[in-house]
Structure 1
């Protein structure tokens, strides 16, 4: 089995220099790093990561807490986070909370027990005071969440502007009777989105009727159920924001079965820009999220926090969503922008 001395001899460098390269010392030239890497590859030398962790008090691991890995947005986010972490020499462990407060605390304990160098939270269930207590053990970065009182880095979408943008688009298409679907998650972001939606309506003297507000709609079957409820209404909406491309798919499927014209009888707006949004007939106007930009920023910030050890700092990194305009809200002949 090769040793660090073997690597040093083959690279023509001192053992100290090789050790500095293995421990990511900042004052080693790129040329020497390359010589060490080549020698390691030639000898098949694998550094003892456990020993390095003890010396550096770092694990090289970042935990990412997500509610459900099956969700399109979170799977895309994880994909970019993993690539960016790898570029910086880190590995990810994926922690699926299933919206459980206890699971969330169990995974945060990885930070407390020094099994990870930092935690990226894409959602949270516990009171912020509970999460805040873990900052004494390492950095926490919020990605896709915003908390007014949190003094940590937050990478988030301005959901108020998202909701406003959706409602304005439907108003511009002549709709005055709109329905709104919520996934049932209680968060500042979700509250901001519906506030933005209602704000656009109030500007023209309209409001969101409580009977047209559908809670806990997040799946294809939920979309079918929403349309079934709409069918029973005496005064039906002419447009609906679904909050999910899967919900949109369920609504469109049932609407076509009922011989409704889309968008003539019902305009539909989705969320997430999933592939299914382009495969449906009609293709779905949907909210496009800046997933790559958000994941890149979150990992850059996490890397910085791990190394500067300033875990408490209020940093707001705001991103904006956009609409991909398609045929579920705009007739093809009037379509001016697609994505």
Structure 2
């Protein structure tokens, strides 16, 4: 069955504009109307009147999906979003997916049953085809993550550049044997792209990568401690490590110092995000503009709810912070 998303894609016009035409909204050009009507005809798309009435129900509530709120990055991001939403009279519902695909699907029902006006995804566990049927029930905006198949507004950072920036910093500091540590590569597009950036920087410097230097399934402080134990067993032991999280970097730092290692002399460590923890521990890190990301995402969501056009996508920038661990 065709959706409003399919109509928008075929017509080459935003979903918001298609929605305006379906609801007889003024200020849509005749040319756009013609393209939309032709697309509807080709797809045999028929608006569901009961669904349209349901969509007009307003809750002034927005759902934000996060993998886990105990990660300070997501805590701060949600706080910024909440403050921005309050300016426009909206409140938030926090939905923790715990990196679980089925849990994510269950939360999407909030949009279908009109318990929320829109959904913000800060992580994506399922393939985009699972989200597509819900696009007719309300706006979905992506923050932090990205997906090439997602035809929705997004606010993100180029993670290839993030991986490159952190690795290049270690190379510029004179390190040659550099490990790459991250979460699940299979699940996360972010992890895969950061790895691309890492490999790009290593290749540019003509540095060989040992396959044993790829260390995955690390998202917490405790995971960072375990990564250090794994790292100690590597025959061609790295002298520096790029991590995808300040939490993991903090765990590594603690375990290394507990074992009598000097940081950065015996092991240089760089984190990711620039959480308050990084400043407290003196961690070098790749900083993300969390405040700008959160506020911009909420503005885009409210524009989508109110039927305004929004730029798609919004690409923000990283910057490197050098502290004592490199």
TM-score (ref. length: structure 2): 0.79
Alignment correspondent of 2:149: 149
**Count of matched residue positions in the alignment of Structure 1 and Structure 2:** 273
Hey, what's the Cα distance between the residues in 2 that align with 1:121 and 1:89?
20
Alignment correspondent of 2:158: 158
Deviates more, 1:247-256 or 1:161-170: 247-256
Alignment correspondent of 2:213: 212
Q: Could you tell me how far 1:275 is from its partner in structure 2?
A: 2.4
Alignment correspondent of 2:265: 264
- CA contact 2:261–2:267 (8 Å) conserved in 1: yes
3-state SS, counterpart of residue 315 of structure 1? coil
- Larger CA Rg, structure 1 vs 2: 1
Alignment correspondent of 1:304: 303
Hey, what's the Cα distance between the residues in 1 that align with 2:291 and 2:315?
13
Hey, what's the Cα distance between the residues in 1 that align with 2:306 and 2:233?
59
Q: Could you tell me how far 1:55 is from its partner in structure 2?
A: 11
3-state SS, counterpart of residue 240 of structure 1? strand
Gaps of 5+ in 2: 1-52
Q: RMSD of the alignment, in Å?
A: 2.0
- CA contact 2:170–2:240 (8 Å) conserved in 1: yes
Gaps of 5+ in 1: 1-52, 330-339
Q: Could you tell me how far 1:209 is from its partner in structure 2?
A: 1.6
Say if 1:148 and 1:207 are closer, same or farther in 2 by CA, change over 3 A.
Answer: farther
Q: Could you tell me how far 1:251 is from its partner in structure 2?
A: 1.6
Alignment correspondent of 1:199: 200
Say if 1:55 and 1:262 are closer, same or farther in 2 by CA, change over 3 A.
Answer: closer
| Alignment deviations for residues 297-316 of structure 1 (CA, whole Å, 9 cap, x no partner) | 11111111111177xx8811
Hey, what's the Cα distance between the residues in 2 that align with 1:130 and 1:56?
23
Query: What is the 5 A alignment of 1:168-317?
Result: 168-184=168-184, 186-280=187-281, 283-308=282-307, 315-317=312-314
3-state SS, counterpart of residue 125 of structure 1? coil
Hey, what's the Cα distance between the residues in 1 that align with 2:119 and 2:316?
21
- CA contact 1:72–1:272 (8 Å) conserved in 2: no
Q: Could you tell me how far 1:95 is from its partner in structure 2?
A: 1.0
Q: Is 2:313 aligned against 1:319?
A: no
Say if 1:101 and 1:231 are closer, same or farther in 2 by CA, change over 3 A.
Answer: closer
Deviates more, 1:218-227 or 1:158-167: 218-227
Say if 1:259 and 1:301 are closer, same or farther in 2 by CA, change over 3 A.
Answer: same
| Alignment deviations for residues 6-61 of structure 1 (CA, whole Å, 9 cap, x no partner) | xxxxxxxxxxxxxxxxxxxxxxxxxxxxxxxxxxxxxxxxxxxxxxx999621111
TM-score (ref. length: structure 1): 0.76
Q: Could you tell me how far 1:178 is from its partner in structure 2?
A: 0.4
3-state SS, counterpart of residue 64 of structure 1? strand
Alignment correspondent of 1:44: none
Query: What is the 5 A alignment of 1:76-95?
Result: 76-95=76-95
Hey, what's the Cα distance between the residues in 1 that align with 2:54 and 2:270?
52
Q: Could you tell me how far 1:258 is from its partner in structure 2?
A: 2.7
Alignment correspondent of 1:111: 111
- CA contact 2:191–2:244 (8 Å) conserved in 1: no
| Alignment deviations for residues 178-233 of structure 1 (CA, whole Å, 9 cap, x no partner) | 01111115222221111011001111222432101111012222222222222223
Q: Could you tell me how far 1:176 is from its partner in structure 2?
A: 0.9
- CA contact 1:59–1:115 (8 Å) conserved in 2: yes
